[in-house]
Structure 1
Amino acid sequence: MADTTEIPLFPLTGVLLPYGRMPLRIFERRYLDLVRDCMRAGTGFGVAWIRRGEEVAQRGQAKPELGDWGTYARIVDWDQLKDGLLGITIEGERRFSLLRSHTAASQLVMGEVQLESSPLPQPVPADWESLVDVLQSLEVHPHVERMGLDIDYDNAWQVAYALIQLLPLEESLKYSLLGLDDLHRVGEALNEVLNRISGED
């Protein structure tokens, strides 16, 4: 059963998937404070996809329109970047449904969310051989290797989410795939995507 709670949100124009990793450059004070508080308390925050609007707040600008679901994330690494900014790596844990949001006095966007349970591990279907091959080829790319992913190739959900995260897809498509609960439909969609990329369709 999903739990309802309030969590800080990090609105992004990119979509984070469960098990996926994403590097972020932190420079706004509200997010520097968020990172500090999360690291001290060992907690996370929600990554919400921006349907319309901007990531960086500007005076007089309407707040961004957020998607109806997102991914709860935790900080797994951090470093000071060459430009002096704070760099962090976040990892997705589980999905949430965003019920409502508001901007706190700290200027952080807070969301009332239902945190969903992670889907139970499912065996990789026999007809996913091409999906597994593509994921294994992506995993040895230097950029992906630096992420330090630990992919369980016996769990079809993890294979699917890792592929969605790593493939060069439109963020709106990643968001749509994140919202699917049917593993068969996810696999069909990924096969269609790979066929388009390879020019077979």
Structure 2
Amino acid sequence: MIDLPLFPLGTLLLPHGRLPLQIFERRYIDMISKCMREGTSFGVVWIKKGSEVAQASKTNLDFGAYGTVANIVDWDQLPNGLLGITIEGEARFHVENTWREDSGLNMATVAIDPIPPATPLPEGGRSMIDVLAGLQRHPEVKKLGMTVDTGNAWQVCFALLQLLPVDSATKYQLLELNDIDELVEALDEILSELSG
């Protein structure tokens, strides 16, 4: 068990996925500064119900019971003067308990799941590599600098799921899966629906 600062979002960060964020609230600027200075991580949790980050200190949020450890892989000052960071998902964690510090920063004691061993994609999921490669050619995705081990089905599935226009509730359900065959099957269905 470890204590992690939380960054609640209306979207999900998945293991091996990357997300760009704009940081504007003092408590999160302080949190990011500390993480960068000390080389530590923070947790991204999905807000199942309640306001987006800006209101998180004023309302009771319904966090997901699990989230993803986030590492800062890039940062920059944006043209609008805000701090921009790119985060990458590492391991999944389960939230044991949460509290709010005086600064308004949400904290949690979490149990971090072991990272699943690398597993090759089943034959039926091979086309996912092509879909992922196609998405990675998009200029906005290129900016994220994602690198994916295409020999590891977990990385392919989660990186692909991160990029696809899929609702957060679905992503949250799939983040919970521990069976790679189930994840590949679910993602295959999503790709079939998206391609019509």
What does 1:82-161 correspond to in 2, within 5 Å?
82-161=79-158
What does 1:11-30 correspond to in 2, within 5 Å?
11-30=8-27
- Distance in 1, matches of 2:140 and 2:110, equals 32
Letter in 1 for 2:190: V
Deviations for 1:45-103, whole angstroms, at most 9, x for unmatched residues? Answer: 000000011121277x4221100110000111110001101101111110000111110
- Distance in 2, matches of 1:138 and 1:145, equals 9
Q: Matched residue of 1:153: which SS?
A: coil
Letter in 2 for 1:46: G
Q: Matched residue of 2:6: which SS?
A: strand
1:170 matched to 2:167: yes
Q: Matched residue of 2:102: which SS?
A: coil
- Distance in 1, matches of 2:59 and 2:147, equals 39
Deviations for 1:109-162, whole angstroms, at most 9, x for unmatched residues? Answer: 000110111111001111112212211111111111111011100001000001
Question: Cα distance, 1:184 vs. partner?
Answer: 0.6
TM-score by length of 1: 0.94
Identity of aligned residues (%): 48
1:52 matched to 2:49: yes
- Distance in 2, matches of 1:196 and 1:9, equals 33
Indicate which of 184, 189, 192 corresponds to 2:186. Answer: 189
Gaps of 5+ in 1: none
Give the number of equivalent residue pairs. 195
Q: Matched residue of 2:190: which SS?
A: helix
- Distance in 2, matches of 1:105 and 1:171, equals 29
- Distance in 1, matches of 2:33 and 2:166, equals 32
- Distance in 1, matches of 2:33 and 2:195, equals 43
Letter in 2 for 1:64: L
Letter in 2 for 1:63: N
Letter in 2 for 1:82: P
Gaps of 5+ in 2: none
Match of 1:65 in 2: 62
- Distance in 1, matches of 2:168 and 2:95, equals 18
Runs of 4+ aligned residues of structure 1 deviating over 6 Å after TM superposition are: none
Q: Matched residue of 2:13: which SS?
A: coil
Q: Which moved more, 1:132-141 or 1:29-38?
A: 132-141
